[in-house]
Structure 1
Amino acid sequence: MGGGKKKRTLTQMAKAQESRQRETKRLKMERERRLSRSESKAARIIPPDPRDKNVIKQLQSMKVITPYTVASRFNLLLSVAKDFLEDLHRQGVITYVSGGRNLKIYKPSER
């Protein structure tokens, strides 16, 4: 009896098409952003080479070396920076000054 759904007007069809295009564009941007975010996370996990001259020079220029300063300088996660500092301490590049359970303070060794 009802005769079915009415046909949309031209402006309604144009608006619907524009909104679909905007939605697909937004989804594409989100997907790209998500991929770039995962790439940046991967970069924050890999510490710099401890034998690199540039890295050693930057560390020698710092008066006090803490995990936070290393993490912010080299764009690392805090846990990765702690492991990196322990590795440098074992190599003799930096010396342990003081610290407790949560924070360790190092200084550049006199070489």
Structure 2
Amino acid sequence: MGGKKKPTLSQLAKKQDKQQPAPAKPAAKGRKTTAEERQTAKASLVEPKLLSDVEKEVTKWEYVTPYLVANRFNTKISVAYQILRTLAGKGTLVLVSKGHRTEVYTTPERLRQIAA
């Protein structure tokens, strides 16, 4: 009943080449990046300044999702959820649709326009 086929010589050579560590690349010349530049800093706490900035900007949008807020203001999605829920509690935004994955908000004025 046969068995596993033996690899050819070229296949063995390729396998050996892959297992050998690659030679180290020389460091790039020119400008060196700092750790801050390599890593994008994202806010993990809701600051009052961030909340007020989001509130001013979001009232101009047709609809608002946590993803849009997170991308626009460089925050985590969980922080965007907190911000939007806070603004909905204040009455600045109204929850239009909620699923198990995301929430869609809009302003009360825009909701009245849609409903009319």
TM-score, structure 1 as length reference:
0.57
Partner of 1:12: none
Q: Is the 8 A contact 2:43 2:76 kept in 1?
A: yes
* Separation of aligned partners in 2, 1:51 and 1:45: 13
Gaps of 5+ in 1: 1-21
* Secondary structure, counterpart of 1:106 in structure 2: strand
More helix by share: 1
* Separation of aligned partners in 2, 1:67 and 1:51: 13
Partner of 1:96: 95
1:71 counterpart = 2:74: no
Gaps of 5+ in 2: 1-25, 110-116
Partner of 1:80: 79
* Secondary structure, counterpart of 1:44 in structure 2: coil
Instruction: For 2:76, give the aligned amino acid.
Output: L
* Separation of aligned partners in 2, 1:71 and 1:83: 11
Partner of 1:107: 106
Q: Is the 8 A contact 1:48 1:74 kept in 2?
A: no
* Cα offset, 1:87, TM superposition: 1.3
Q: Is the 8 A contact 2:59 2:107 kept in 1?
A: yes
CA distance 1:92–1:37, shift in 2 (3 Å) = farther
* Cα offset, 1:83, TM superposition: 1.4
